Amino acid sequence: MKFYLDEDISPRVAEILRKRGIDGVSAHDIGMAGSSDENQFAEAVSRRAAIVTRNRDDFITLTVQAFENLSPHYGLVVVSHSIPGSDFKLMAGMLEKCAKKNPGGMGVYTIEFLNKKQA
C-alpha cells in the first residue's frame, strides 16, 4: 500500500513509515506544500497512493467527484484531530495498521477514518 501525505500531516510521519518499510511520501518532501487540494489529490492519484489528510470535507468532496466522474482513486485516509499532530509515531503506527489491513491497497473510492479510539 502507498500513502501520499497531504501538507497538513507532518513529513516526519512519512519518514517513520519509510523506516518501517511502508511506501509513504509527504507533500513537503516533493515540493507540493502550498498546492491546492485538487493538485494534492491529483498527485496522490498519479502515485497510485491513498491520500492521508486531516482536511476531511474537501477531500471527501474530491472523492465523491472522482466517483461520479469514474476517475481514478486509490483511497482516502482521514486523520481525526483527536490524534495530536505532534504524535508522529502514533499516526505512523495507525497508518501501518491500515497498510497491513489493505496490503494490496484500499478499494477504489474507499474512505477510512482514523481516530484516537482506534489506537
Three-class DSSP category at 23? strand
Q: Is 77 left (phi over 0), alpha (psi -120 to 50) or beta?
A: beta
Quick: pLDDT tens for 102-118.
Answer: 999 999 999 999 998 87
CA–CA separation, 22 and 35 (whole Å): 24
Assigned fold of 2-118: Rossmann fold (3.40.50)
Q: What is the mean pLDDT of the chain?
A: 95
pLDDT of 119 over the 70 cut: no
The predicted model scores a pTM of 0.95
Q: What is the mean pLDDT of residues 5-17?
A: 97
Q: What is the pLDDT of residue 16?
A: 98
Q: Locate the domains of the chain by residue range.
A: 2-118
Q: What is the mean pLDDT of residues 77-88?
A: 94
Cα 66–chain centre separation:
16
Q: What is the mean pLDDT of residues 80-88?
A: 93
